[in-house]
Amino acid sequence: MRSNTSMKEPEVFLAYAPRGAGLRCAVAYLASERDVYGWFTGPRQDASVASCFFLLENFFENRPVRYEAVDHGALHSAWLLDEVRRHELARMQEAFAREWLFYRDDPRAAAELEAYTEAELATSDVNVRFERLAKFSTLQPNWTYYSPRFERPVLRHVAKRWPLEYRLHMELANVPRRRAPRSCP
């Protein structure tokens, strides 16, 4: 991801179902010495789009990890993350979304959607920029992209708690799940 020198480089993960739902999830995070904080988006069970900021407090410590997430619009509300990191997250999320994603209702989406149509690939309300799909591993039904230093335990920890319909392949397909809340857990 292109960034200026004052912004840390985020680690990112995206999953895309080319013959199914389209974008399954997009995750970007930053890490400090002890915490991980970031943003995720993707479809919920009801097909609406979730967009949430999260904090994994003490993730790199030998202590229990505390998870907190807030809806996109509540970034500057009262939650555990300090104000400096909130601003850092807002900049990171904006840069990540601009570089990797587009929204169906974006005025510039027509060319992206046309490329998907010509390639006979799935789209949804939130989509991966077409030229970025070349970076994905396409060996599985869900195409995936991990940045080089992305830590999979971060994804496992967040995915157990998020309201997205996407579940990691490690989960059993037939395990009953409670209905996902409308806001971030």
The tens place of each residue's pLDDT in the chain, 185 residues long, gives 443 345 689 999 999 999 999 999 999 999 999 999 999 999 999 999 999 999 999 999 999 999 999 999 999 998 899 999 999 999 999 999 999 999 999 988 999 999 999 999 999 999 999 999 999 999 999 999 999 999 999 999 999 999 999 987 543 333 334 344 456 76
- CA-CA distance, 40 to 118, in Å (whole number)? 28
Q: What is the pLDDT of residue 108?
A: 86
Separation of first and last alpha carbons in the chain:
28
Who contacts 67 (Cβ-Cβ below 8 Å, separation ≥6)? 54, 55, 56, 57, 157, 158, 161, 185
Concatenated DSSP letters of 136-185: SB-SSSSEEEE-TT--HHHHHHHHTT--BS---TTS-TT---PPPPSS--
- Six-digit token string for 39: 């943003």
Q: Is 100 helix (H, G, I), strand (E, B) or coil?
A: helix
Half-sphere exposure of 82 (CA within 13 A, CB side): 6
Is the CB of residue 104 less than 8 Å from the CB of residue 113? yes
